Structure formats: structure tokens, C-alpha cells
Amino acid sequence: KAGVTQTPRYLIKTRGQQVTLSCSPISGHRSVSWYQQTPGQGLQFLFEYFSETQRNKGNFPGRFSGRQFSNSRSEMNVSTLELGDSALYLCASSPLGTGGPNTEAFFGQGTRLTVV
């Protein structure tokens, strides 16, 4: 079974630009969560999607948004990039909703975003 796939792996953007990151979950997984990982802040929860609906959201500004498609693939978008947005963005999929509560999250390798 293929794992969680995130594209692209690396990205360099200029301040003020916008960026879209993509995540393909494990086949059959309907829940997709996004995290921002920085050296100082660890793993910070951005949002979670399930069956194309955002179910949960972390404490990030409105510049961070996401969506999920009918095939469970998800994208996250960051508009008006700031230097502080430089981070590793991780996507995790889970069989939540099919496997019951308290199920494992499977992470992708992440997209390394650098804002210059």
C-alpha cells in the first residue's frame, strides 16, 4: 500500500507570494491533517479535513487555508507569504471515521518551504 505522498518536497518562494501544497493520503483514508513543523515550535496543528469538510482548525491566521477533494486528496494554501512561514509542512492521513476513535496518523515526508 502506498504511503502518504506530499508534493513538492522542496519549495522556495518570495515574501508576498502564495503557495499551494498537495497531499495524497493512503488509499481508503478519509481524514487528512496538516501540521507546521519549525525548530522552535515543534509540530503545530493547522487543520483537519474529513470527507471534504474542515472538522478542526488550529490557531493560525486566515492566510492559511485548505481543502479536500472527493478522492480525499488535500491541498493547503498560504497567501501573502511571510519569512516566518518557512517551515516543514507535514500532512497526515488517518482512517478516522472508518476505523473508529484513537487511530494512528500516518505522515508524509513533508514539503520544505523556504520564504526569502
Partner 1 sequence: GENVEQHPSTLSVQEGDSAVIKCTYSDSASNYFPWYKQELGKGPQLIIDIRSNVGEKKDQRIAVTLNKTAKHFSLHITETQPEDSAVYFCAVTEYSGGYQKVTFGTGTKLQVIP
Sign of CA dihedral 3, 45, 50, 95: positive
Looking at beta carbons only, is 78 or 90 nearer to partner 1? Answer: 90
CB of 9 to partner 1, least distance (A): 9
Does the footprint of partner 1 cover residue 90 (CB under 8 A)?
Answer: yes
User: What are 42's three cell numbers?
Assistant: 515543534
Identity of residue 99: G
Q: Which of 17, 27, 51, 56 binds partner 1 (CB under 8 A)?
A: 56
Does the footprint of partner 1 cover residue 107 (CB under 8 A)?
Answer: yes
Instruction: Verify cis geometry, omega within 30 degrees of 0, for the bond prior to 8.
Output: yes
Find the Cα–Cα–Cα–Cα dihedral 49, 54, 56, 62, rounded to 10°: 120
The residues of the shown chain that bind partner 1, judged by CB under 8 A, are: 4, 31, 33, 35, 41-43, 45, 48, 50, 55-56, 90, 92, 94, 96-97, 101-110
